[in-house]
Amino acid sequence: MVQRLEGRVAVVTGGGSGIGLATVRRFASEGAKVVVADVDPNAGKAAADEVGGLFVQVDVTDEEQVKALFQTTVDTYGKLDIAFNNAGISPPDDDSILTTGIEAWERVQKVNLTSVYLCCKYAIPHMQTNGKGSIINTASFVATMGAATSQISYTASKGGVLAMSRELGVQFAREGIRVNALSPGPVNTLLLRELFAKDPERAARRLVHVPLGRFAEPEEIAAAVAFLASDDSSFMTASNFLVDGGIAGAYVTPL
Protein backbone atom coordinates (compact mmCIF):
# COMPACT_ATOMS: atom_id res chain seq x y z
CA MET A 1 0.00 0.00 0.00
CA VAL A 2 1.30 3.49 -0.86
CA GLN A 3 2.07 5.58 2.23
CA ARG A 4 0.36 8.83 1.18
CA LEU A 5 -0.76 9.58 4.74
CA GLU A 6 2.51 8.88 6.56
CA GLY A 7 2.73 11.18 9.61
CA ARG A 8 -0.80 12.52 9.14
CA VAL A 9 -3.38 12.64 11.93
CA ALA A 10 -6.96 11.81 10.97
CA VAL A 11 -10.32 11.85 12.75
CA VAL A 12 -13.08 9.59 11.40
CA THR A 13 -16.59 10.05 12.77
CA GLY A 14 -18.81 7.00 12.53
CA GLY A 15 -15.57 5.03 12.36
CA GLY A 16 -17.03 1.94 14.00
CA SER A 17 -19.01 0.68 11.01
CA GLY A 18 -19.53 0.67 7.25
CA ILE A 19 -17.81 3.38 5.22
CA GLY A 20 -16.21 4.84 8.36
CA LEU A 21 -14.67 1.53 9.42
CA ALA A 22 -13.35 0.82 5.93
CA THR A 23 -11.80 4.30 5.93
CA VAL A 24 -10.19 3.83 9.35
CA ARG A 25 -8.50 0.72 7.95
CA ARG A 26 -7.48 2.45 4.71
CA PHE A 27 -6.11 5.56 6.46
CA ALA A 28 -4.07 3.39 8.84
CA SER A 29 -2.76 1.22 6.01
CA GLU A 30 -1.54 4.39 4.28
CA GLY A 31 0.38 5.44 7.40
CA ALA A 32 -2.00 7.79 9.24
CA LYS A 33 -2.59 7.95 12.98
CA VAL A 34 -6.35 7.49 13.30
CA VAL A 35 -8.81 8.73 15.90
CA VAL A 36 -12.05 6.77 15.75
CA ALA A 37 -15.06 8.78 16.93
CA ASP A 38 -18.31 6.92 17.39
CA VAL A 39 -21.33 6.91 19.70
CA ASP A 40 -21.10 3.10 19.84
CA PRO A 41 -18.32 2.23 22.34
CA ASN A 42 -17.92 -1.42 21.34
CA ALA A 43 -17.65 -0.95 17.59
CA GLY A 44 -15.62 2.24 17.96
CA LYS A 45 -13.08 0.76 20.35
CA ALA A 46 -12.71 -2.40 18.28
CA ALA A 47 -11.94 -0.31 15.19
CA ALA A 48 -9.39 1.83 17.03
CA ASP A 49 -7.72 -1.21 18.61
CA GLU A 50 -7.46 -2.94 15.25
CA VAL A 51 -5.34 -0.11 13.81
CA GLY A 52 -3.52 0.95 16.98
CA GLY A 53 -5.45 4.22 17.03
CA LEU A 54 -7.37 6.17 19.64
CA PHE A 55 -11.07 5.73 20.36
CA VAL A 56 -13.10 8.72 21.54
CA GLN A 57 -16.74 8.08 22.39
CA VAL A 58 -18.70 11.00 21.02
CA ASP A 59 -22.22 11.91 20.05
CA VAL A 60 -21.59 14.14 17.04
CA THR A 61 -24.73 16.19 17.76
CA ASP A 62 -23.25 17.40 21.08
CA GLU A 63 -21.22 20.60 20.76
CA GLU A 64 -19.04 20.09 23.84
CA GLN A 65 -18.25 16.49 22.90
CA VAL A 66 -17.28 17.46 19.35
CA LYS A 67 -15.08 20.29 20.62
CA ALA A 68 -13.41 17.86 23.05
CA LEU A 69 -12.91 15.27 20.28
CA PHE A 70 -10.69 17.56 18.21
CA GLN A 71 -8.89 18.94 21.27
CA THR A 72 -8.15 15.39 22.49
CA THR A 73 -6.82 14.52 19.03
CA VAL A 74 -4.39 17.45 19.05
CA ASP A 75 -3.43 16.82 22.70
CA THR A 76 -2.65 13.19 21.86
CA TYR A 77 -1.00 13.41 18.44
CA GLY A 78 0.11 17.05 18.28
CA LYS A 79 -1.95 18.24 15.28
CA LEU A 80 -4.94 17.61 13.05
CA ASP A 81 -4.48 16.99 9.30
CA ILE A 82 -7.65 15.17 8.20
CA ALA A 83 -11.28 15.24 9.36
CA PHE A 84 -13.63 12.72 7.77
CA ASN A 85 -17.04 13.87 9.01
CA ASN A 86 -19.02 10.80 8.12
CA ALA A 87 -21.39 9.72 10.92
CA GLY A 88 -24.97 9.62 9.72
CA ILE A 89 -28.30 7.86 10.11
CA SER A 90 -31.11 6.82 7.82
CA PRO A 91 -33.98 5.66 10.09
CA PRO A 92 -37.22 4.10 8.76
CA ASP A 93 -39.45 6.81 10.25
CA ASP A 94 -37.86 9.32 7.85
CA ASP A 95 -39.95 8.65 4.76
CA SER A 96 -42.42 10.59 2.59
CA ILE A 97 -42.95 14.22 3.63
CA LEU A 98 -46.62 13.33 4.17
CA THR A 99 -45.87 10.82 6.92
CA THR A 100 -42.58 12.02 8.42
CA GLY A 101 -43.10 13.80 11.74
CA ILE A 102 -41.14 16.76 13.03
CA GLU A 103 -39.30 14.61 15.60
CA ALA A 104 -37.87 12.29 12.94
CA TRP A 105 -37.10 15.28 10.69
CA GLU A 106 -35.15 17.05 13.45
CA ARG A 107 -33.30 13.92 14.62
CA VAL A 108 -31.97 13.25 11.12
CA GLN A 109 -31.04 16.92 10.56
CA LYS A 110 -29.08 16.91 13.82
CA VAL A 111 -27.09 13.72 13.20
CA ASN A 112 -26.48 14.25 9.48
CA LEU A 113 -26.18 18.03 9.09
CA THR A 114 -25.72 19.83 12.44
CA SER A 115 -22.95 17.33 13.24
CA VAL A 116 -21.02 18.35 10.11
CA TYR A 117 -21.41 22.02 11.06
CA LEU A 118 -20.02 21.23 14.54
CA CYS A 119 -17.16 19.04 13.29
CA CYS A 120 -16.05 21.66 10.75
CA LYS A 121 -16.42 24.48 13.29
CA TYR A 122 -14.08 22.72 15.76
CA ALA A 123 -11.69 21.08 13.25
CA ILE A 124 -10.87 24.21 11.20
CA PRO A 125 -9.12 26.24 13.94
CA HIS A 126 -6.70 23.32 14.56
CA MET A 127 -6.03 23.13 10.82
CA GLN A 128 -5.41 26.90 10.72
CA THR A 129 -2.78 26.40 13.43
CA ASN A 130 -1.31 23.53 11.38
CA GLY A 131 -1.28 25.70 8.23
CA LYS A 132 -3.12 23.03 6.20
CA GLY A 133 -5.77 20.35 6.34
CA SER A 134 -8.26 18.26 4.41
CA ILE A 135 -11.90 17.93 5.41
CA ILE A 136 -14.15 15.37 3.76
CA ASN A 137 -17.85 15.54 4.58
CA THR A 138 -20.07 12.58 3.65
CA ALA A 139 -23.03 13.70 1.58
CA SER A 140 -24.80 11.25 -0.78
CA PHE A 141 -25.85 10.95 -4.41
CA VAL A 142 -29.36 11.88 -3.20
CA ALA A 143 -28.01 15.40 -2.57
CA THR A 144 -28.05 15.90 -6.33
CA MET A 145 -30.75 13.45 -7.54
CA GLY A 146 -34.42 13.02 -6.70
CA ALA A 147 -36.01 9.72 -5.63
CA ALA A 148 -39.66 8.70 -5.67
CA THR A 149 -38.79 6.49 -2.67
CA SER A 150 -38.33 9.54 -0.44
CA GLN A 151 -36.45 9.90 2.82
CA ILE A 152 -37.18 13.58 3.01
CA SER A 153 -35.08 14.70 5.96
CA TYR A 154 -32.10 12.54 4.90
CA THR A 155 -32.13 14.01 1.40
CA ALA A 156 -32.45 17.58 2.67
CA SER A 157 -29.65 17.00 5.21
CA LYS A 158 -27.29 15.74 2.51
CA GLY A 159 -28.12 18.73 0.29
CA GLY A 160 -27.10 20.88 3.25
CA VAL A 161 -23.81 18.98 3.67
CA LEU A 162 -23.04 19.54 0.00
CA ALA A 163 -23.73 23.29 0.10
CA MET A 164 -21.88 23.78 3.39
CA SER A 165 -18.81 21.89 2.12
CA ARG A 166 -18.68 24.05 -1.02
CA GLU A 167 -18.89 27.26 1.00
CA LEU A 168 -16.21 26.20 3.50
CA GLY A 169 -13.96 25.00 0.69
CA VAL A 170 -14.10 28.45 -0.87
CA GLN A 171 -13.76 30.38 2.39
CA PHE A 172 -10.66 28.58 3.66
CA ALA A 173 -8.90 27.81 0.35
CA ARG A 174 -6.15 30.40 0.73
CA GLU A 175 -5.29 29.01 4.17
CA GLY A 176 -4.42 25.60 2.72
CA ILE A 177 -7.54 23.97 4.10
CA ARG A 178 -9.44 21.92 1.52
CA VAL A 179 -13.07 20.95 2.08
CA ASN A 180 -14.80 18.47 -0.22
CA ALA A 181 -18.09 16.61 -0.13
CA LEU A 182 -18.02 12.90 -0.83
CA SER A 183 -21.20 11.58 -2.45
CA PRO A 184 -21.40 7.78 -2.34
CA GLY A 185 -23.97 5.83 -4.30
CA PRO A 186 -25.71 2.93 -2.51
CA VAL A 187 -23.24 0.81 -0.56
CA ASN A 188 -23.43 -2.94 0.01
CA THR A 189 -23.92 -2.87 3.79
CA LEU A 190 -25.43 -5.52 6.07
CA LEU A 191 -28.60 -3.45 6.49
CA LEU A 192 -29.04 -3.06 2.74
CA ARG A 193 -28.37 -6.77 2.13
CA GLU A 194 -30.97 -7.79 4.75
CA LEU A 195 -33.53 -5.34 3.40
CA PHE A 196 -33.10 -6.46 -0.19
CA ALA A 197 -32.94 -10.18 0.63
CA LYS A 198 -36.46 -9.77 2.05
CA ASP A 199 -37.64 -7.71 -0.91
CA PRO A 200 -35.85 -8.50 -4.23
CA GLU A 201 -38.22 -6.20 -6.16
CA ARG A 202 -37.10 -3.28 -4.04
CA ALA A 203 -33.46 -4.12 -4.83
CA ALA A 204 -34.16 -4.47 -8.56
CA ARG A 205 -35.95 -1.08 -8.64
CA ARG A 206 -32.73 0.55 -7.45
CA LEU A 207 -30.12 -1.60 -9.22
CA VAL A 208 -31.58 -0.85 -12.66
CA HIS A 209 -30.26 2.72 -12.34
CA VAL A 210 -26.64 1.73 -11.68
CA PRO A 211 -24.56 1.51 -14.89
CA LEU A 212 -21.98 -0.68 -13.13
CA GLY A 213 -24.82 -3.06 -12.21
CA ARG A 214 -24.04 -3.44 -8.51
CA PHE A 215 -23.76 -1.49 -5.28
CA ALA A 216 -20.42 -0.18 -3.95
CA GLU A 217 -18.27 -2.00 -1.43
CA PRO A 218 -17.30 0.17 1.59
CA GLU A 219 -13.62 -0.26 0.62
CA GLU A 220 -14.29 1.41 -2.75
CA ILE A 221 -15.67 4.46 -0.95
CA ALA A 222 -12.75 4.43 1.51
CA ALA A 223 -10.29 4.51 -1.41
CA ALA A 224 -11.93 7.72 -2.63
CA VAL A 225 -11.78 9.23 0.87
CA ALA A 226 -8.06 8.44 1.10
CA PHE A 227 -7.53 10.20 -2.23
CA LEU A 228 -9.38 13.30 -0.98
CA ALA A 229 -7.45 13.18 2.31
CA SER A 230 -4.06 12.91 0.59
CA ASP A 231 -1.99 15.42 -1.39
CA ASP A 232 -2.93 13.55 -4.57
CA SER A 233 -6.09 15.70 -4.53
CA SER A 234 -4.18 18.92 -3.79
CA PHE A 235 -6.00 20.92 -6.49
CA MET A 236 -9.45 19.80 -5.36
CA THR A 237 -11.60 21.80 -3.01
CA ALA A 238 -15.24 22.84 -2.74
CA SER A 239 -16.12 19.88 -4.96
CA ASN A 240 -18.79 17.21 -4.96
CA PHE A 241 -16.86 13.95 -5.38
CA LEU A 242 -19.36 11.40 -6.71
CA VAL A 243 -18.51 7.73 -6.22
CA ASP A 244 -21.78 6.32 -7.47
CA GLY A 245 -21.14 3.64 -10.12
CA GLY A 246 -22.33 6.10 -12.75
CA ILE A 247 -25.87 6.62 -11.37
CA ALA A 248 -25.82 10.41 -11.60
CA GLY A 249 -24.74 10.33 -15.24
CA ALA A 250 -27.14 7.67 -16.47
CA TYR A 251 -30.30 7.80 -18.55
CA VAL A 252 -30.56 4.29 -20.05
CA THR A 253 -28.33 1.68 -18.38
CA PRO A 254 -26.86 -1.47 -20.02
CA LEU A 255 -29.05 -4.62 -19.92
Residues belonging to the active site: 154
Question: What is the C-alpha end-to-end distance of the chain, expressed in Å?
Answer: 36
Q: How far is the CB of 185 from ligand NAD (least distance, A)?
A: 7
With CB under 6 A as the contact rule, which of the stretches 24-32, 39-47, 119-127, 205-213 interacts with ligand NAD?
A: 39-47
Q: How far is the C-alpha of 61 from the C-alpha of 119, rounded, in Å?
A: 9
- Give the x-and-dash track for 71-100 against ligand NAD (CB under 6 A): ---------------xxxxx----------
Q: Does the protein bind ligand NAD through residue 244 (CB under 6 A)?
A: no
Q: Does the protein bind ligand NAD through residue 28 (CB under 6 A)?
A: no
Q: Does the protein bind ligand NAD through residue 53 (CB under 6 A)?
A: no
Q: How far is the CB of 18 from ligand NAD (least distance, A)?
A: 2
Which CB atom, from 132 or from 152, has the smaller least distance to ligand NAD? 152
- Give the x-and-dash track for 116-155 against ligand NAD (CB under 6 A): ----------------------x-x---------------
Give me the torsion for CA of 105, 242, 239, 228, rounded to 10°.
Answer: 110
Q: How many residues does the chain have?
A: 255
Q: Does the protein bind ligand NAD through residue 160 (CB under 6 A)?
A: no
**131, 136, 150, 154, 210 from 142: Cα distances, Å:** 33, 17, 10, 9, 14
Secondary structure (DSSP) of 84-126: EE------TT---TTT--HHHHHHHHIIIIIHHHHHHHHHHHH
Contact between residue 33 and residue 80 where contact means Cβ atoms under 8 Å apart? no
How many helices (DSSP H) and strands (DSSP E) are in the chain? 9, 7
Which CB atom, from 30 or from 38, has the smaller least distance to ligand NAD? 38
Q: How far is the C-alpha of 149 from the C-alpha of 42, rounded, in Å?
A: 33
Binding residue (CB under 6 A) for ligand NAD from 10, 34, 60, 228: 60
| Chain residues that interact with ligand NAD, rule: CB under 6 A | 13-14, 16-20, 38-40, 43, 58-61, 86-90, 111, 138, 140, 184, 186-187, 189
